Amino acid sequence: MNNRQPDFSRQSGRLQVYLERLTRAAGHADRVIPIENYTKGLLLPIGRKSVEPMAARLAPGNVRQMHQSLHHIVADAAWSDAALRKEVRRQVLPVMTRRHGLAAWIVDDTGFPKKGSHSVGVTRQYCGQLGKQENCRIAVSVSLATAQSSLPATYQLYLSEIWANDAERRRKAGVPAGVRFQTKPEIALAQIRSLVNEDVPRGVVLADAAYGNDNGFREGLETLGFEYVVGIQSSTSVWPPGVAPLPPQAGSKMGRPARLLRRDEQHQPLSVKELALCLSASDLRRVSWRKGTRGTMHSRFARLRVRVAHRDYWRSEPHPQQWLLIEWPKTEEEPTKYWLSNLPEAISLRQLVATAKLRWRIERDYQELKQELGLGHYEGRNWRGFHHHATLCIAAYGFLVLERCLFPPAPGSPPLRAVDLRLRLPRTQPSYMPRGAAAANRTA
């Protein structure tokens, strides 16, 4: 692969072309420059990507006017998030998939710790960023991924039932009338349907156990014709290889024939953990899937052909066979992860593991979106502003993905980061101090 260094002398020109195409989706000429400025602000090497610090860096001689422009375009202007994200995909996907085909649609959610209770969607719930129950808001997304890069394609705030059913809160936060309570798997399925309707190239759907353990989510993917590899909890019940529920009870000649599958005390499914603990060391194989920062990543895996047992006593036919993938590291006393997959029976174990493990790319998306592009820095409270800010963060990330695809790093070198971009901007006035900053002569 030709690993060229980015041509920084032309980088600003490439960004301008990208933004000009992007803003065609803005819907009004007056929105073009503010959207361009906001996206540039998100790419700046500054600590906080909220409106005021960006305004001070973009227009140091006229901070107030720039602040008003940026605030209006993100909090008030009625442009379409979906249309802008679609334009990002239109520009980025062909370049992403030039060398590596689209491999997966990755479903996940991310949390944003937030104090108070007035910002849209904020409630006490599990926050993955903190690893505990805390005041936060959560957004669900689907990323499109190749083996080398990925791009968020959808993004929606999760509204808890408390929020969704509170008319006054909804009014103050500007929640659209059509938004109702949906579980996170329901939101993800709706996002997947919207991408299908837009004819986005398909990939294997990947998700963790928060989604994969939802039977309705898996059935929805099957209805849409998707292959998937999704995490499940250790308590998920399955029929072991070669075992199925009992056939319908043979009845008498009188009345309707029985149609439902059966179980009895001696014929019961097992949890995937119980099934895994029946394995011997010889059933586990060492598989490596990619190179990480500490060398090649590897672990021990086993796979079995099983049938999901979920409520099959209300069915007349057993669930189809699929793969149960089990990860059991050598240093652990029991398995650590489980997946269900409807990928073809002929797939190799190595391919199955590599596909399941590709979900790490969405974790990289969120890490960079938060740490480098300010995804969690929006300070407003309303629905529109939360989503507009996220969409423009995704737009900024899209340009970063384009630059990486144009100038892939040399083997062993880190990929291009937002702080590596060289945007031509005026200098900040030395006297400027953002709101909330400590005075220079302040003592502890």
Same domain, 27 and 171: yes
**pLDDT score, position 2:** 52
Together in a domain, 272 and 400: no
pLDDT digits (tens, 9 = 90+) for 242-257: 988 888 877 655 556 6
Q: Is 431 domain-assigned?
A: no
Expressed in percent and rounded to 5, the helix, strand and coil fractions of the chain are 40, 20, 40
Do 285 and 164 fall into the same domain?
no
What residues form DSSP beta bridges with 169?
A: none
Q: How many whole angstroms separate alpha carbon 90 and alpha carbon 98?
A: 13
Q: How sure is the predictor about 8, in pLDDT bands with cuts at 50, 70 and 90?
A: low
Does 350 share its domain with 399?
A: no
230 and 190, same structural domain? no
Region 309-318 average pLDDT: 84
**Which of 343, 358, 373 finishes a domain?**
358
Q: What percent of the chain has pLDDT over 70?
A: 91
296 with 412, same domain: the answer is no
In a domain, 218, yes or no: no
285 and 325 belong to one structural domain? yes
Is 250 inside any structural domain? no
Cβ atoms within 10 Å, residue 283: 15
pLDDT for 441 beyond 50: no
- Give the mean pLDDT of the chain: 89
Residues 6+ apart with CB under 8 A from 423: 11, 12, 15, 40, 43, 44
Same domain, 272 and 352: yes
Going by pLDDT thresholds of 50, 70 and 90, the confidence category of residue 442 is very low
Contact assessment for residue 384 and residue 76, using Cβ atoms and an 8 Å cutoff:
yes
Task: Name the amino acid, one letter, at 27.
Answer: G
Which residues, 6 or more positions from 52, have their beta carbon under 8 angstroms from its beta carbon? 63, 67, 434, 435
Between strands 132-145 and 321-327, the pairing is unpaired
pLDDT tens digits, one per residue of 83-123: 999 999 999 999 999 988 999 999 999 999 988 888 999 99
* Section 408-421 average pLDDT: 73
Rounded average pLDDT over 327-346? 97
Specify whether 51 is located in the same domain as 198: yes
User: What does pTM read for this prediction?
Assistant: 0.90
For 75, the token pair is 């909090």
Q: Which residues pair with 239 in a beta bridge?
A: 307
- Res 411: pLDDT: 67
Q: Could you give the CA distance from residue 354 to residue 135 in angstroms, rounded to a whole number?
A: 35
User: Does residue 214 form part of some domain?
Assistant: no
Residue type, 109: D
pLDDT confidence of 266, banded at 50, 70, 90?
Answer: confident
Centre a 10 Å sphere on the Cβ of residue 194 and count the other Cβ atoms it contains: 15
Which pLDDT score, from 0 to 100, does residue 171 have? Answer: 95
442 domain-assigned: no
How many residues belong to the chain? Answer: 444
pLDDT for res 371: 92
Q: What is the pLDDT of residues 26-70, one digit of tens each?
A: 888 999 999 999 999 999 988 899 999 999 999 998 999 999 999
The predicted structure's pLDDT at residue 127: 86
> Residue 153 domain-assigned?
yes
* Within a domain: 430: no
Q: How far apart are CA 92 and CA 2, in angstroms?
A: 20
Beta bridge partners of residue 127, listed in sequence order: 132
* Whether residues 305 and 272 fall in one domain: yes
Average the pLDDT over 319-331 and give the result: 95
Note every long-range contact of 382-385, with CB atoms under 8 Å and residues 24 or more positions apart, other chains counting. 382/75, 382/120, 382/173, 382/174, 383/120, 383/157, 383/173, 383/174, 383/175, 383/176, 383/179, 384/75, 384/76, 384/78, 384/174, 385/74, 385/75, 385/76
Q: Which residue has the higher pLDDT, 360 or 407?
A: 360
Residue 123 pairs in a beta bridge with 136
User: Both 345 and 385 in a single domain?
Assistant: no
Question: Cα(248)–Cα(260) distance, rounded to whole angstroms?
Answer: 5
pLDDT digits 0-9 by tens, 220-242: 999 999 999 999 999 999 999 99
Asked if the structure places residue 429 within a domain, the reply is no
Phi/psi region, residue 164 (left: phi>0; alpha: psi -120 to 50; beta: rest), is alpha
Instruction: Give the helix ranges, DSSP H, for 280-382.
Output: 349-357, 360-371
Instruction: Write down which residue in 358, 393, 408 finishes a domain.
Output: 358
Tokens coding 19: 């933004």
Cβ neighbours around 91 below 10 Å, total? 18
Contact (CB, 8 A) for 373 and 393: yes
The band of 426, judged by pLDDT with boundaries at 50, 70 and 90, is: low
- Structural domain that includes position 327: 225-243+267-358
295: left (phi over 0), alpha (psi -120 to 50) or beta: left
Same domain? 286 vs 409:
no
| Res. 430: pLDDT tops 50 | yes
- How many domains, the chain? 2
